[in-house]
A and B are shown apart, each in its own frame.
Chain A
Amino acid sequence: MPTTALTLADLAFLAQGAGLTLAITAVAVACGTVLGILCGILRVQFGPFWTAPLTFLLDVFRSVPLLIRLVLANAAQSIAKLGWGPFTTSCIVLSLYTAAYCTEIVRGAIVAVPQPLRRASRSLGLSWRQDMTFVVAPLATRVALPSWIGLTLGVMKDSALVLWLGLIELLRASQILVTRLQEPLLILMICGGIYFLLSFPIARLGGLLEKRWSPR
């Protein structure tokens, strides 16, 4: 039986890190989803020409590494003397990151609702709002949900990068323990196990929903 210097207090420290990971993910996904739904509807409603600037901006968010954007946002807030802490900065950057992908998911899902169906609902006298609420939203949600679950898990995994701003989330907490205890393999395996346990069941659920809800 190999011995380890790992104590219960250390495990609690890791759990605390995992808590921060989840908190950042929750805030980023919540804000990013709201923003993504808004941008997605805008993109469908106003067409590619008028929303080109928005599309470009979101494309930039998807084409520049998250780490670079975190550093950039942190530098910008300090230049502008906004006084944001690393947590706020991280949440804002990750929210925009989520929104960039969520917009595409929402747009794709709305477009996937068959046009004749929408014509039918409008010809019944439903207003745009009613059509969106009672016809488009339920159908689009089915299309979007599996991808959205994938996105949420992606954000959770990518939230590890906020350690660069000094936040002690799960991975950083593990790294601190590694440095102190010099047992990299064990501690990293625990850390990876936690990520895996958080991610895998939900990923499976997403896959299941995708299979069940896909046509045929």
Chain B
Amino acid sequence: MFNYSFRWNQALAALPQMLDGARVTLGIALQSMAIGLVLAVVLTLCRRSGNWFAAAIATGWVEIARNTPGLFQIYMAHFGLGAFGIHLSPFTALLSGIAFNNAGYLAENFRGALTAIPETQTRAARSLGLSGGQTFQLIVLPQMLRIAFLPTTNQMVWAILMTSLGVTVGMNADLAGVTQELNARSFRTFEFFAIAAVIYYLITKAVTLAARLVAWRLFIY
């Protein structure tokens, strides 16, 4: 049945290159999360603002992010923006596509988290003389981030998985890109991608574990 001879040594020799790729993967995921979190807070504020225009744009963003494929969003950043004369490199296209997606999903998580914070918290803060902005920043936001922490960790895992899509727009520095280049040169597809799979698994596990540690340190109350 198998007259294919596995050449693991050849694949393992490329491990340092792949680990470099893994670092890039993790970097893109972290950056996309940082941007996504900030944007999600902005989207949440827009949706709460009572300004119908801002709310409509934010809602549109959230629904598009959640109802079209992540790969489509990356394509849009890479090919679609060309119509406006904006030509993004594979790296920027990948990063902005994932950040767009993260922002949409995180904003929706935040909306759910907000319903879990009693209205009386805002009331108590306002009655102490805190302004609306201060109340959001000091009372609502920290509690919202805590309640949404678990779904946010899940989104981080999704962000890591999504980075692999970069290869479809010509990204060659991240783990999937490096693996694909090695594969194109040697045709040891199975070996290279199996090693990549193991590395991805370890990255997601490490990130999940790290998130748990952070939660444990941060949310002592």
Contacts of A131 in B (CB 8 A): none
The number of chain A residues with a CB under 8 A from chain B is 41
B201 within 8 A of A: yes
Question: Residue of B at shortest CB range from A184?
Answer: B79
Residues of B with Cβ closer than 8 Å to A? 1-2, 4, 63-64, 66-72, 75-76, 79-80, 82-84, 157, 160-165, 167-168, 176, 179, 189-190, 193-194, 196-197, 200-201, 204-205
Q: Which residue of A lies closest to B5 (CB)?
A: A79
Does A85 touch B at the CB level, under 8 Å? no
The total of interchain contacts (Cβ-Cβ below 8 angstroms) comes to 113
* Given A184-B83, A195-B72: 11 more A-B contacts, CB < 8 Å: A63-B201, A65-B163, A65-B200, A68-B179, A68-B193, A80-B1, A171-B72, A188-B72, A188-B75, A200-B67, A203-B67
**Secondary structure at chain B's binding surface: helix, strand, loop or mixed?**
helix
Q: With A and B bound together, what is the CA distance between A69 and B160 in angstroms? A: 14
Cα(A183)–Cα(B196), bound, Å: 35
Q: Which of B69, B83, B168 contacts A158 (CB 8 A)?
A: B69
- Nearest CB on B from A125, distance (A): 41
Is A84's CB within 8 Å of the partner chain B? no
| A99 interfacial by beta-carbon distance below 8 Å | no
Contact B72 A192, beta carbon cutoff 8 Å? yes
Check: A76 CB closer than 8 A to any chain B CB. yes
- What are 20 pairs between A and B in contact, CB < 8 Å? A60-B197, A65-B176, A66-B164, A68-B176, A68-B179, A69-B197, A72-B197, A74-B189, A81-B1, A157-B70, A157-B72, A175-B79, A184-B83, A185-B80, A185-B83, A188-B75, A188-B76, A199-B67, A200-B67, A203-B67
